[in-house]
Amino acid sequence: MTNNTNPPPAPQHSAAAAVPSKSAAALALGWLHTARFLTTAPQLHFLPHLDVPEIAFVGRSNAGKSTCINTLTQQKQLAFASKKPGRTQHINLFSLGKQGVTDAVLTDLPGYGYAAVPKQDKIRWQQVMANYLVTRENLKGIVLMCDPRHGLTELDEILLEVVRPRVEEGLKFLVVLTKADKLTRSEQTKALSIMKLQAGGGEVRLFSAPKRQGIDEIALLLWQWAHPAGDSPAP
Ligand code: GDP
């Protein structure tokens, strides 16, 4: 199988630093739009072994994770599949790649901290998630969704501690401050700088679905994680 009959030109790496160029962002968004359901697994050991880079989305329930995934992939229902009865506690995988050739995978991990979930289930899920984040070999990056009006929750802090050693070894890490439209401009600036201090060297971006804020920057960042400089798109 040829891996790239028509490979997209690599977006400029410098583009993520400031405002991304429109063409680079359009490429990255086009790539994200190829997202399609791959599989769902109730536990870690049911996940298929994959060689392509994997990017995991995590966050407390209601942080805006599904909305962000759906906005980035421009698919209204994609991540809401994860909210269907029976799937809320599953790990849901989506393939990415043009011409049906998977070159990366998006993972939607179950939202945590939802009050109505029995304590035993919560503990079990924390363990599954921690295991996933520590042991998933092809994991390339983590996107932590955080509602800046609430800041990091206790479970977010635990997650940060769990992934810190891997981030120090080069695992990519991004905190998305969701629902930025609910903050004033100065509150946004403040939330950004506070989170930059807490993110342990990871990236931080503001995001708003209704205002379409941060979409280009986040899309480009994810594209770059999955296609590091010098690599051709993976089969
Ligand atoms: P999840 O549980 O983390 O997947 O969160 P959802 O994506 O379901 O969002 C939770 C709630 O926040 C829903 O009512 C969304 O409409 C709302 N929401 C999500 N993103 C945004 C945003 O960018 N701006 C605003 N104002 N509301 C949002």
- Of 67, 71, 106, 182, the residue with max ligand 1 atoms within 8 A of its CB, to mutate for a pocket test, comes to 67
pLDDT band with cut points at 50, 70 and 90 for residue 18: low
Q: What is the dihedral of CA 203, 138, 46, 125, to 10 degrees?
A: -30
Q: Is 17 helix (H, G, I), strand (E, B) or coil?
A: coil
What is the model's pLDDT at position 85?
A: 61
pTM of the model: 0.89
pLDDT band with cut points at 50, 70 and 90 for residue 232: very low
Q: What is the pLDDT of residues 167-218, one digit of tens each?
A: 999 999 999 999 999 999 999 999 999 999 999 889 999 999 999 999 999 9
Query: How many Å from the N-terminal Cα to the C-terminal Cα in the chain?
Result: 8
Q: How far is the CA of 50 from the centre of ligand 1 (A)?
A: 30
Query: Would you kindly state where each structural domain of the chain is located, as residue ranges?
Result: 19-226
Rounded distance between C-alpha atoms, residue 48 and residue 27, angstroms? 28
Q: Closest Cα partner for 177 from 209, 201, 133, 154?
A: 209
Q: Tell me the fold of 19-226.
A: Rossmann fold (3.40.50)
- 188 against 7, higher pLDDT: 188
CA distances to 80, 89, 170 from 84, rounded to whole Å, are 7, 10, 34
For residue 178 and ligand 1, the question of a CB distance below 6 A is answered with yes
Rounded distance between C-alpha atoms, residue 13 and residue 15, angstroms? 5
Instruction: Looking at the CA of residue 59, tell me the nearest atom of ligand 1.
Output: 3
